[in-house]
Structure formats: structure tokens, C-alpha cells
């Protein structure tokens, strides 16, 4: 638990706070454009990555639970 709390504190101090308080690109119109660009990339990835097929490599839960 201590490692998790320490990692969260380091993440806040080293990653989140610099972006939140000191990044010029994260404010105003530039920040909105950056956010929109990230959403466009995520939507494109969602469309490109194939959906996994049931069958090979999947697990039948009824066999695991005995039901």
C-alpha cells in the first residue's frame, strides 16, 4: 500500500501538476485543440483495432464454475 501511495504522489507531483499549472498548451484554445486531437486518435484506434473473436483462446465460464 505504501508503494501505491508513493507512486500516486510522484505521479501527481511529476506528471499532473506540471500539466495542470505550468503547461501553456493545456490552456485556452490550444488545450481544447489538443484534447480534440486526442479524441480523434482514440476513435481512429477504436475503429482500426479488431474485435476479439469468441472461440480460440477464450474461456467458457460454465466449465469453470461447474454449472
Per-residue pLDDT at 15: 86
8 A C-beta contact, residue 25 and residue 31 = yes
CA dist 38 → 12, 14, 23, 55, 57 (Å): 21, 21, 16, 33, 32
* Angle made by CA atoms 48, 56, 65, in degrees to the nearest 5: 115
Per-residue pLDDT at 46: 93
Confidence of residue 56 (pLDDT cuts 50, 70, 90): low
CA dist 2 → 7, 13, 65 (Å): 9, 16, 35
- Structure-model confidence comparison of residues 30 and 66, the more confident one: 30
Amino acid at each position: 500500500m505504501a508503494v501505491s501511495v508513493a507512486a500516486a504522489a510522484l505521479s501527481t507531483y511529476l506528471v499532473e501538476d506540471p500539466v495542470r499549472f505550468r503547461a501553456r498548451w493545456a490552456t485556452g484554445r490550444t488545450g481544447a485543440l489538443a484534447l480534440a486531437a486526442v479524441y480523434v486518435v482514440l476513435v481512429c484506434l477504436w475503429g482500426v483495432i479488431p474485435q476479439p473473436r469468441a472461440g480460440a483462446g477464450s474461456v467458457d465460464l460454465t466449465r469453470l464454475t461447474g454449472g
